[in-house]
Structure formats: structure tokens, C-alpha cells
Amino acid sequence: MANESMLLTLINNLDLSIRFYDLQGKILLFNNIAAASWGGKPADFAGKKLSELYSEKYYQTFNERVEITKESLNSQTYLDTRELSPGNIHWYRSTYSPMFDDDGHQTGVLIVTEDITSQKRTEKDKITSETAYQTLFEHMAQGVFYQKADGQLTDVNQAALDIFGISKDEFLGRTSLTPEWRVIDTDGNLITGDAHPSMKALKSGKPVSMTVGIFNPLKQDYVWVIANGIPQYHELQEEPYQVFITMHDITRQRQAEEEIKKYQKNLESLVKDRTLELEEKNIDLQSFNKLFVGREFRIKELRDEVAKLKAKLTEHNIRF
């Protein structure tokens, strides 16, 4: 009796609905959770028939499950929903198990029901979050891809494929060491696969940012991007298991910068030529100015000589 009392106390304190029916469908045991779900106490249901508790439609479904369990002699698990109030839907997982006495004779069916609403809502929220993330991932203006620590490329969005100029299957079939990649730095030097931004982030375990040019076979030209690599870690792991890469297309900016550089170079050349031309004209002007000043000085000397001669002639005429 003491053991039975302890067992009953344990059953009544479990956070599960526990019901035990005999082979004729009569209730032998309802624990506190089971009784509360029907709006009563365990003693209120002892000895009652299943048909007294359920509506005809629900009783038919419930009775079918009990019969399947009795005939199969194996446990069966079912998932049900119940709307407790408008919009407040709860999920329940019930396991129906056949029960036997010490002689191996079947005595009834035990039903253990767990409220898994929180779990289901968490799963739903996770699915919603994952769906939202996948939608964001696929429609981002920035190119994005993932790469495992072993170099395997695992996922990519359309913006990244547009930058690469290849299909998703082609991308997923490559690694950083695939020779088809042609990546250069800002000086035009080829970057080897082991020095790509993703590989550098995986090796260092730190975020990496690089400006690189990626050859696009469809455009037959380089697409310039700012590539940011962010290593990702599993909990309690020191080495990253993958890297998350974002690529911002700066090709137009890069082309504009190149045009500005060309314009500045041409302008500097024009200024240099114009300066040289002005210097040459200035030299000519200085030569002309020297000639002009010398000529004026000579005229002045001649005028002075003429004046002296006139003065001498005047003096001569006065004497004679």
C-alpha cells in the first residue's frame, strides 16, 4: 500500500496528463493534470466510461486509437490540437500504450499526454525566422555566400552569382583553389586561392575586409567588390567552422575613380604643356624687351649727340 501511495503521489505530481482505461473503456485512473483538463478532480472520473466524456465524433476517433493499441500490442503516438479560446491553439502529443498484469494478460490502455505548445510555437517561430532570413538572404542587394572550413562552398545568393557570372551549380562545385577563379588586388596582381578573403578569415579566425576584382566571364571584365569575411564558431570551439562573406559591388565607383584619374592626368599634361608654352613666350618677350630697351637707350644717346652738335653749331655761328 505504501508503494501504491508513493506511485500515486508521483503520478499526480508529474507535469503530464496520465489516464488509464480498462479493456471495456472504463476509467481506472486520472491524475491531477488529466482531471484538471476536464474541469474536475481525479475522483470525479473514476469508474466512468469513455463515452460519457467525449462527443460522438471525438469518442469515435479516441476509441479507434484505443482499439489499435489493444490489437497491435504496441505503443502508438498521436499529435492533436485543441483551441482553448479563440485563436489560442494548443498542441498535444499522446502516447497510447497497452498495459499487462504479472501473468502477461492485457489489462487496459495507458495514455500519457504532454502539452507541447511551447515547443511547437518555438518550432514555428524558428521556421518563420528561417524563412524570413532565407528571403532576406536571397533578395539582398549585396552578394553573400558561405564557405566551410574545409574550403567547400555551401550556399550563395543571386546577387553573388551575378558578380561571379556563373550558375549556382558551378559555384557549389568549386573551392577557393579552383583554377577558374581570377581574382586580383587593386594593383592588378593575381590573388591565389589560399589568399582569397574567405580563406584569410578562416585561417586567421578574424574578420577580413579586402577590395578585390573578380573576373566575370559573362561580362568579360572584372567586377570590383569590397569583400568582408566573418568567421563563425560553434559554441566552445576555438576554430571557425565556416565563414560568412558579403560583397558590395563598387565597380561603378571604381570606374568613376579611374575616369577621374585619367582626367587629372590629362589635365596635368595640359597644364604642363601650357606652362611650357607660357615659359617660351616669356623668354621671347624678355628678349624683345631687352632689344626694345637697348634700342630706346641708343635713340636717347643719338638725341644727346644731336643736341651737342646743335649747341656747337650755334656757338660757331655767334663767333662769326
CB 160 within 8 A of CB 153: no
Q: Verify that 91 and 174 share a domain, yes or no.
A: no
**Residue 195 belongs to some domain of the structure:** yes
Q: Verify that 63 and 155 share a domain, yes or no.
A: no
Q: Which three cell numbers stand for residue 22?
A: 480498462
Q: Verify that 117 and 149 share a domain, yes or no.
A: no
Domains identified in the chain, total number: 2
Q: What is the pLDDT of residues 29-72, one digit of tens each?
A: 888 888 888 788 888 888 888 777 777 777 788 888 888 988 88
Tally Cβ neighbours within 10 Å of residue 290. Answer: 10
Q: Verify that 106 and 196 share a domain, yes or no.
A: no
Q: Verify that 118 and 176 share a domain, yes or no.
A: no
Please tell me the predicted confidence (pLDDT) of residue 218. 95
Least confident of 6-10, 139-143, 207-211, 247-251: 6-10
Please tell me the predicted confidence (pLDDT) of residue 172. 93
pTM: 0.51
Per-residue confidence at 288, pLDDT binned at 50, 70, 90?
low
**Residue 296 belongs to some domain of the structure:** no
Give, rounded to a whole angstrom, the gap between the first and last alpha carbons of the chain.
Answer: 180
Q: What is the pLDDT of residues 219-248, one digit of tens each?
A: 999 999 999 999 999 888 889 999 999 999
Q: Verify that 84 and 113 share a domain, yes or no.
A: yes
Please tell me the predicted confidence (pLDDT) of residue 128. 67
Cα 30 from Cα 18, distance rounded (Å): 6
Domain termination residue (choose one: 57, 87, 122) = 122
Query: Which range of residues forms the domain containing residue 232?
Result: 140-249
Q: Verify that 146 and 84 share a domain, yes or no.
A: no
**Residue 311 belongs to some domain of the structure:** no
Percentage of residues of the chain with pLDDT beyond 90: 34
Q: What is the CATH number for 212?
A: 3.30.450.20
Domain termination residue (choose one: 249, 271, 294) = 249
Domain termination residue (choose one: 249, 276, 309) = 249
Please tell me the predicted confidence (pLDDT) of residue 192. 94
